[in-house]
Amino acid sequence: MSPPPSPPSNTAPSPPSNTAPSAVETAAAVRAGTRSARQTVEQHLEAIARRESDIHAFNTVLADEARAAADAVDHKVAMGQDPGPLAGVTVALKDNMCTRGIPTTCSSKILEGWRPPYDATVVERIVRAGGIVVGKTNLDEFAMGSSTENSAFGPTRNPHDVTKVPGGSSGGSAAAVAAGFASLAIGSDTGGSIRQPAALCGVVGMKPTYGLVSRYGLIAFASSLDQIGPFAATVADAALLLEVIAGHDPLDTTSIPESGPRLVDQLSQGVDGLRVGVVQELMNGVDADVAARVNEAADALSAAGAKVDTASVPAAIYGLSAYYLIAPAEASSNLARYDGVRYGLRVPGDDITSTYMRTRAAGFGAEVKRRIMLGTYALSAGYYDAYYGQAQRVRTLIIRDFTAAYEHFDVLLSPTSPTTAFAFGAKSENPLAMYLSDVCTIPSNLAGHPAISVPFGAGDDGLPVGVQVMAPALGEPVMFRAAAALERGAPGSSSAATAAGR
C-alpha cells in the first residue's frame, strides 16, 4: 500500500499502531492462501502486548484461543475448504456478548467470574465465518455510560490521547480498533454506545435497524432500543462485518424475518443525485469545530454529486429526555434478574429479601443503581403516565418527524457527538452532562433506524470528529453508500485509515 498523503491540519492524528491491512484485504488474502490467519493474529497480539497496558481496551484477552482458531482457518484453506468471508480477520467482542465458557462480565462485579453456558448468535456467526475472536472488551457497566468510566474494572483510555476518554459505552471496542488490537469489533448501541465512542476514537461505528441483528446472547439493557453493530477502521470493513452478523434468527423474537442486506459490493456506486439533509435541531449546542466538520462533510457529499439541503426533525429535541425515561425504565426491569440466585455474586442476608438487597448493593456501581432507581420511579404508581407513558408518546412524535423528513431526503446528516473526546472526570460527577453526550445519537435508537458514524477530520484540539449518517428503517444500503462517499471525501483522504496507522 502507498503511504497516505501528508495530512492537512484538521486531519485526525495517528496513534502509534500496526500497519495491518483492512479486514476486506485480510479475508481476501487468507482465502487466497497468500497470507496466513496465524500471521494476522500474531500481528494483533503483538500490538496488544505493546500498548494494552496503556489503553485497557480488554477485560479478557484470548491469545491461545485466537491462535488455535487461526490455525483451524489456515488448515481449512490448506485442505481446499471455504474458510468463510471473515477468514483470519481479528474481532474484539464487547464484554456483554455471551461467549460459552469464557467470562462475560458486562464490566460489573455482579457478573465477575460468570461463564455463560452458550454463545450469542453474533459470536456463532462470526466464528462460522472464519473470524478470530481476540478478546472481550471493556464497557461502562451494563452499557450504561458514555466514557467507560463506569466500568468496575477501570476505564479504557483513548488511543489518540490517553488522558482522554474513548467514549462509551463500547469504549473498549472502539479503542481496540483504533489501536490496531483487532481489525473489527462488536458493540451494542442503546442510545449511541457504538457511534459515540467510534467518533471519539476516530473509527467507523454503526447501529443497524432495530431487529436486523439478532440479540440472542446480548445481555439486555433496554430491550426496545438495544442493537448490536460493527466497529471497523473503514466503511467497507464495517459493511463486511454487518453482512456476516445480520439476518433472521428464530432465537430472537424481535428479529426481522429477512435475510441481511448486501452492502460491500455497492459501496462504490457513489451518491450522485442522493438527497442529503443536515438536521438543524441536532446542530444546536454542538461545539463550533464539530459543527464545522459536519458542514464540510455536507460539502464533500455535495461535491460527490449529492443534493444537500437543511432538514428538520422538530421532535428530536425531546429525544434525550424521552430516552432517559424509557431506557432506565426498561433497565430497571431487565436488571431485576441479578438477584444472587442463578448466577453471579451473592451476598448472603438473613432472608431472601435482604440477600437480594445486599447482593445488588454490593454488585452494582453507582450509575447502574441510579438508572435502576430512575426507571423504577418512572414506572411507579402515580408517575407512570406522566413520565414513561409520555416518553413513549414522544417516541411516536419523533418517528413521525423522521418519516416526514424522509419524504424529502434519502439520508440525514448530523454530528455524532457534540464534542471531541473529553478528559477523565470532566463529566463523571454530573450525570446529566454525561447524558448530553448522546443527544445526537439517541433519536435513531428511539425510531429504530440505522445510523453510522464516519471519521471526518479533527477538532481544534486535534482529536477525531465523527459525522453521523442516518437512514430510515432497513435503509442500510443507501446509508453505507453515503458513508463510503463521506470517507472518500474526508480530510487526508480517510481519517479512518490513518487512525489505524495505515
All three cell numbers of 495, joined, read 481519517
Q: Which residue has the cell 463500547?
A: 170
> Within its chain, how far is the Cα of 71 from the centroid?
29
Task: Name which of 4 and 389 has its Cβ closer to another protein.
Answer: 389
Does the footprint of another protein cover residue 118 (CB under 8 A)?
Answer: yes
CA distance 263 to 247: 13
Give residues 284-313 in contact with another protein (rule: CB under 8 A).
Answer: none
Give Dmax (Cα) for the chain. 70
Nearer to another protein among residue 276 and residue 447 (C-beta): 447
Q: Is the Cβ of residue 75 or residue 393 nearer to another protein in the bound state?
A: 393
* Among residues 181, 216, 221, 364, the one that binds another protein under rule CB under 8 A: 364
Helix, strand or coil, per DSSP, at residue 250: coil
Residue showing cell 496466513: 36
State yes or no: residue 209 binds another protein (CB under 8 A): yes
Under 8 Å between Cβ of 261 and 243? yes
Give the residue with the Cβ less far from another protein, 397 or 426. Answer: 397
Among 268, 284, 310, 380, binds another protein (CB under 8 A): 380
Nearest to 411 by CA among 268, 259, 307: 307
CA distance 134 to 63: 6
Q: Does 343 bind another protein (CB under 8 A)?
A: yes
Least distance between another protein and beta carbon 160 (Å): 30
Binding pattern to another protein, positions 172-201, x when CB under 8 A? ------------------------------
In the complex with another protein, which residue's Cβ is closer, 182 or 329? Answer: 329
| Measured distance CA(87)–CA(129) in Å, rounded | 7
Which of 325, 421, 465, 500 is close enough to bind another protein by CB under 8 A? 325
Minimum distance from residue 255 beta carbon to another protein (Å)? 8
Helix 23-32 to helix 63-78 angle (10° resolution) is 50
3-state secondary structure (DSSP) of residue 228: strand
Element (H, E) at 480: helix 476-489
Q: Tell whether residue 384 is a contact of another protein (CB under 8 A).
A: no
Select from 116, 136, 128 the least CA-distant residue to 176: 136
- The set of catalytic residues is 94, 169, 193
Number of residues this chain uses to bind another protein (CB under 8 A): 73
Q: Is 370 near another protein (CB under 8 A)? A: yes
Residue type at position 261 = P
| Shorter beta-carbon distance to another protein: residue 21 or 340 | 340
Where are the alpha helices (H) located in 63-120, listed in sequence order? Answer: 63-78
Instruction: Quote the least distance from Cβ 372 to another protein, whole Å.
Output: 5
Of the candidates 34, 64, 342, 407, which one interacts with another protein according to CB under 8 A?
Answer: 342
Q: Does 390 bind another protein (CB under 8 A)?
A: yes
Cell of 80: 481446499
- Closest to another protein by CB, 335 vs 500, is 335
Tell me the angle at which helices 37-55 and 63-78 cross, rounded to the nearest 10 degrees: 160
Rule CB under 8 A: choose which of 352, 408, 423, 425 binds another protein: 352
- Can you tell me which of 58, 181, 210, 406 binds another protein, judged by CB under 8 A? 210
CA distances to 71, 122, 245, 407 from 249, rounded to whole Å, are: 29, 10, 10, 31
The answer to the question of residue 110 lying near another protein (CB under 8 A) is no
Nearest CA to 346 among 140, 133, 110?
110
Q: In terms of CB distance, is 292 or 436 closer to another protein?
A: 436
Torsion angles phi and psi, residue 20, rounded to 5: -70, 150
409 binds another protein (CB under 8 A): no
All three cell numbers of 348, joined, read 448472603
Where in 472-501 is the site for another protein (CB under 8 A)? 473
Q: Which of 174, 391, 471, 485 binds another protein (CB under 8 A)?
A: 391
Instruction: Pick the piece of the chain touching another protein (CB under 8 A) from 17-25, 87-95, 134-142, 209-217.
Output: 209-217
The residue from 1, 34, 273, 350 that contacts another protein (CB under 8 A) is 350
- Member of 83, 187, 211, 455 binding another protein (CB under 8 A): 211
Footprint of another protein on 255-284 (CB under 8 A): 256-257
Grid-cell match 430510515, residue found:
472
Helices 476-489 and 235-245: angle between axes, nearest 10 degrees: 160
Of the residues 254, 266, 312, 493, which one makes contact with another protein according to CB under 8 A: 254
